[in-house]
Structure 1
Amino acid sequence: MTLRNSRDLMAWQPPIGWRELSGEQRQAYLKRHGIRIPLRPADWEEMDHDQCMDYLAWHSWILSDTPEARAAKDHEYRKDLRAWNVLMGWWIFCLLVGLGLIWGTGTLGEGIGPRIGITLFAGVGYTVAIFVPMQITRPFPPR
């Protein structure tokens, strides 16, 4: 069974349990049932950009969303999150050491005004330079 255009291809629904099949099992199922899913369907040239992207997402879901691929994405996410947490912890440690040097030593004399000023400067600077960008770049779990 050769489906020609994108509408027919995307109307095909995989059998129950498809999500748990490995890539090899999926290819074997498609071959056994005579289903050929091309990367570019016959009506590719007539499709607009959104339709092409929808088709490519469907194609990826059908052929590439295997348990192995999901496990690899999850492993990569956990590795990235661990690295992010270590880096965030390092920056917090550096901030605390800096504040400890300001408040714990007598380098600024007895004046509390300069200490509060430097503390506010360090807190705002840390937030703008490190904390906000780190929150933006925090890894997201895979879908």
Structure 2
Amino acid sequence: MTTWTSTELMAWQPPPSWHELSGDQRRAHLDQHGIQIPLRPADWEVLDHDQRTAYCTWRDRILSDTPEAREAKEREYRKKLRAWRILMCWWIFCLIVGLCLVWGTSALGENAEVRVGITVFVVAGYAMAIFVPMRLNKPVAHT
């Protein structure tokens, strides 16, 4: 068995229908054509970091980017997005309840300036402590 270099391995192009083949079908196709894609090619030791990264990316694209893997990533994304939305709705509900307590009860008396001040403080605090960080951490779909 000959050991292939990274250049020789990466020169191989999969067939056009490769994107739709499952992991088992891909392995069967590679075995049928006598192609073995090693974890580390023969010239691994002489490759620099960028070349190693390029090879690992190519290998992952060839072997791991299967319909099953894409479906699992999509399920995980939807699960995280649903949890994110539920948490955002919970915080909005808490904000509304807090504002209803400030404006809907007579606990603060008839002093509108205090109510406006508390409302501004609560909305600004909510935006800085909850809303902005949650928007920054919103799950994104993997393409």
**What is the TM-score normalised by the length of structure 2?**
0.96
**TM-aligned CA deviation for residue 137 of structure 1:** 1.2
Q: Whole-Å Cα distance in 1 between the matches of residues 54 and 92 of structure 2?
A: 43
Distance 1:123 1:2 in 2: 67
2:23 aligns with: 23
Q: How many residues align?
A: 143
Equivalent residue number for residue 71 of structure 1 = 71
Matched, 1:50 2:87: no
What is the correspondence of 1:29-108 to structure 2 with a 5 Å cutoff? 29-108=29-108
Q: 1:57 to 1:67 in 2, by over 3 A?
A: same
- The CA RMSD over aligned residues, in Å, is 1.2
Are 2:3 and 2:42, in contact at CA under 8 Å, matched by a contact in 1?
Answer: no
* Structure 2 unaligned spans of 5+: none
Q: Which residue in the other structure is 1:121 paired with?
A: 121
- Would you say the 8 A contact 1:5–1:43 is kept in 2? yes
Deviation at 1:11, TM superposition (A): 1.4
**Pairwise CA distance, 1:3:** 6.1
**Deviation, structure 1 residue 136:** 1.5
5+ residue gaps in structure 1?
Answer: none
Over 4 Å off, 4+ runs: none
The percent of aligned pairs where both chains have the same amino acid is 62
TM-score, reference length from structure 1: 0.96
Q: Give 1:2 shift.
A: 5.3
